Chain A
Amino acid sequence: MPNILMPALSPTMEEGKLSKWLVKVGDTVKPGDVLAEIETDKATMEVESVDSGKVTSILVPEGTEGVKVNTPIALVLDEGEAAPTAEAVKDPSPGADAPTSPPGGEVEQSAAAVTPLPGGRGPSEARGEGALPAAPATPAPHFIPAADPDLPAGVEMVEMTVRQALNEAMAEEMRRDEDVFVMGEEVAEYQGAYKITQGLLQEFGPQRVVDTPITEHGFAGIGVGAAFAGLRPIVEFMTWNFAMQAIDQIINSAAKQLYMSGGQVHAPIVFRGPNGVASRVGAQHSQDYSAWYSHVPGLYVVAPFSAADAKGLLKSAIRSNNPIVFLENEILYGSTGLVPKVDDFLLPIGKARLARAGKDVTIVSFSMGMRYATQATEKLVAAGVDVELIDLRTLRPMDSATVIESVKKTGRLVTVEEGWPQGGIGAELCARVVAEAFDYLDAPPTRVTGKDVPMPYAANLEKLALPNVDEVVAAVNAVTYRGG
């Protein structure tokens, strides 16, 4: 009978605090009984017994921090069952790597079930669909954004997550302009499925932070209509996958309105939410819409990578008089960066950022692609390749001037994105570079993209479907004619 193991609340959880035991040695438990409470920075959950038996020992005292997932925390024995050997108790269970066979011997290693803990507990990350499943395939690189030229010298930089940066951007703009409001699924009482709107309901009230039913097409249209009438809606999609239900209102109603009204009616609205590949959520929940929206005249499309860009660009987006598609990335929400502490930090929409100056090859990417690109750049620079790295930040209008100028210098282009290859952002960049810098090219422009398949669920296939650092390095080696 089982050793109770420290359970994982999500695939990203590696350890947690065992905050409280609700049973003691000698207690008899049955399935469903709550054994203990565990806490992570994101949530408080209960550990439930799956079997019945008697608690014979508690292996991790309450209050212990940093308990690794799958550590045995207690021993529950079936009536009449002999206690396992000490060795078996200690035997660490299979870790994150999928075990291929159950451990031999009498002791069945068994994690307890985890149930959510209802009731008002301290702050915890309310994640709904947001299992935030994403174990980033690649760790966050150390990346310090180049200071934008117009920042005052010596400005204080504050470290924050992309999540905080987005949250601050909305809060600041809502303080500044009463016409700005947020609507979407779980944005208010639940504090956001991915917690981007945390605290906004408390500060701005239910009139300005509006929970909607699950009706994407309807509330996107309501947002656009409200924008026609002069409000400045921020419409959150729980993820961009669900915005496909609403794409007609985004394109047919928002993007085309100014043009077809001969310049009379415009739609100042921001559609935002996590875009791109999450982790292990399968074909319908894991997709990059960058190219889709970048196709549409009348829309601005922003896809930031760093926390500073997330903040400065979202603030500008909310102030823009145009409909904006603001593509965030779930895996980047928790990554940190330095954000300048100035009263009103606005960044220009439509301007790429030079992340690193170099002369051998130009790598262009955006959003999550920048993570692969940055890591590849670190490797390549170490190997003696002087990489110039550009973060597009905005996909429409696309800052091709910056890219073309760079390629004129380096003669080589590698683009990196998670989306599909056909008609992608990389395809567009290649076309522009070929058209405008053909004579400067020393090698064919090359794309690194997600594979041309729907996203599979199996861990190994998902990994194969994504672009990776090695592919970027290989592409650079190819265009610089270096032996791989």
Chain B
Amino acid sequence: MARKPATKAEKSALSNIPELSKDEELKAYRDMLLIRRFEEKAGQMYGMGLIGGFCHLYIGQEAVVTGITMASQKGDAQITGYRDHGHMLVMGLDPKRVMAELTGRQGGLSKGKGGSMHMFSNEHRFYGGNGIVGAQVSLGTGLAFAAKYRGDNSVSITYFGDGAANQGQVYESFNMAKLWNLPVVYIIENNRYAMGTSVERATAQQDFSKRGLSFNIQGEQVDGMDVRMVHDAARRAIDHVRDGKGPYILEMMTYRYRGHSMSDPAKYRSKDEVTTMRAEHDPIEQVKNRILEKRYGTEDSLKAIETEVRALVTEAADFATADTEPAPSELWTDIYADA
């Protein structure tokens, strides 16, 4: 029983499809393309042995983080799991430093000590980069607790997967978030699989937007392959929580093209399924077609963006390859904060 994001889109509110402005479309295009090309390069570098351990690519899901970040404000906090490269890039962090973290070099965002799954940014209030499935949901709720405590008008944007949505601490967090009216938007990135387990095989209530119902948390399903829908829903949800109305759930219907991590043979789904999603729902192609249709850009101007993005990625890869490993003394630093 395949669930098609396209049909979910209708539920995502509004009979009129919310449009993006020219600048927004162009920005979305560039940001998503940067993630796509960066991840492809990361995949290549993994293949060359430059990146080790686990490397989870965001390819296919670019519209989610792009649309949501466009709707958030500076000062809002974000947190996610291990599939985090795209989040770093869309926030404007230097691709060189993201890639250098993947290769474990000193110029990496965590000085090479964290790796692909553990990247953070105080400046952008990005709290990771978390390896334990579901843990970020309580942590993100804690970020919202702090926002309310301080009254600083920020919100917490907490991302997690369809698999993570089954962890117990998610519901403990939902309860407290509503009980205390915390400013948190829960983004469930439903890419239909948790490793090799499809949603159907792991989940009693497959409509994740309803997972907050028994706590009186409002939720909606969104076409997560269409950056306009993501942006529109995110704006609505963020406004809701910033207005002090408590938590909100967005279930993003999305899809990951690649395996769970680099060496997942992905026998749990058909090739057709992947091909169809890529051919019919690709988030980048959708934006590209609109840009051309509405004459927001030309083939040539889009090519120029592509060239700029490729240069950035190449530069990042070169830096991450040439940069030195952390000094041996780094083994013993950052264990405790200064007193």
Chain A positions 396-412 with a Cβ under 8 Å from a chain B Cβ: none
B8-16, B39-47, B149-157: which lies at the interface: B39-47
Q: A462 to nearest B CB, angstroms?
A: 8
Chain A binding site: helix, strand, loop or mixed by DSSP? loop
- Mask for A97-115, Cβ within 8 A of B = 1, else 0? 0111110000000111111
Question: Are the CB atoms of A128 and B325 closer together than 8 Å?
Answer: no
Interface residues on A, range: 35 or more
Q: Which A residues are CB-close (under 8 A) to B294?
A: none
Question: Are the CB atoms of B321 and A100 closer together than 8 Å?
Answer: yes
Q: Which B residues are CB-close (under 8 A) to A31?
A: 40
Rounded to whole angstroms, the CA-CA distance of A223 and B330 in the bound complex is 42
Q: Among B40, B116, B195, which residue has the most Cβ atoms of chain A within 10 A? A: B195
In the assembled complex, B50 has its CB within 8 A of some CB on chain A: yes
Name A459's contact: one of B168, B325, B330 (CB within 8 Å). B325
Question: Are the CB atoms of A215 and B166 closer together than 8 Å?
Answer: yes
Question: Are the CB atoms of A43 and B265 closer together than 8 Å?
Answer: yes
Q: Which B residues are CB-close (under 8 A) to A10?
A: 262-263
Chain A positions 65-117 with a Cβ under 8 Å from a chain B Cβ: 69-70, 93-96, 98-102, 110-117
In the assembled complex, B246 has its CB within 8 A of some CB on chain A: no
A279-287, A368-376, A428-436: which lies at the interface: A279-287
Knowing A113-B44, A116-B259, A284-B118 touch, does A102 contact B321 (C-beta < 8 A)? Answer: yes
- Mask for B191-207, Cβ within 8 A of A = 1, else 0? 00011110001110000
Cβ contacts A to B, 23 pairs, < 8 Å: A7-B47, A7-B48, A11-B52, A45-B263, A114-B43, A115-B266, A117-B267, A118-B270, A124-B267, A126-B264, A126-B265, A128-B264, A214-B163, A280-B53, A282-B53, A282-B117, A283-B113, A284-B130, A453-B335, A458-B325, A461-B104, A461-B331, A464-B331
Rounded to whole angstroms, the CA-CA distance of A128 and B273 in the bound complex is 19
Knowing A131-B262, A283-B114 touch, does A211 contact B195 (C-beta < 8 A)? Answer: no
Name B47's contact: one of A8, A133, A217 (CB within 8 Å). A8
In the assembled complex, B283 has its CB within 8 A of some CB on chain A: no
Name A461's contact: one of B43, B270, B318, B330 (CB within 8 Å). B330
In the assembled complex, A17 has its CB within 8 A of some CB on chain B: no
In the assembled complex, B322 has its CB within 8 A of some CB on chain A: yes
Q: B130 to nearest A CB, angstroms?
A: 8
Q: Which B residues are CB-close (under 8 A) to A131?
A: 53-54, 261-264
In the assembled complex, B167 has its CB within 8 A of some CB on chain A: yes
Interface residues on B, range: 35 or more
Q: A14 to nearest B CB, angstroms?
A: 10
Chain B positions 93-143 with a Cβ under 8 Å from a chain A Cβ: 103-106, 110-118, 130-134
Rounded to whole angstroms, the CA-CA distance of A112 and B268 in the bound complex is 23
In the assembled complex, B295 has its CB within 8 A of some CB on chain A: no
In the assembled complex, B92 has its CB within 8 A of some CB on chain A: no
In the assembled complex, A241 has its CB within 8 A of some CB on chain B: yes
Closest B residue to A286 by CB, please name it.
B53
Knowing A32-B278, A283-B114, A459-B104 touch, does A116 contact B264 (C-beta < 8 A)? Answer: yes
Question: Are the CB atoms of B49 and A464 closer together than 8 Å?
Answer: no
Q: Which B residues are CB-close (under 8 A) to A42?
A: 263
Rounded to whole angstroms, the CA-CA distance of A31 and B310 in the bound complex is 13
Question: Are the CB atoms of A110 and B326 closer together than 8 Å?
Answer: no
- Mask for B13-44, Cβ within 8 A of A = 1, else 0? 00000000000000000000000000011011
Chain B positions 237-296 with a Cβ under 8 Å from a chain A Cβ: 257-271, 273-274, 278
Name B168's contact: one of A186, A189, A218 (CB within 8 Å). A218
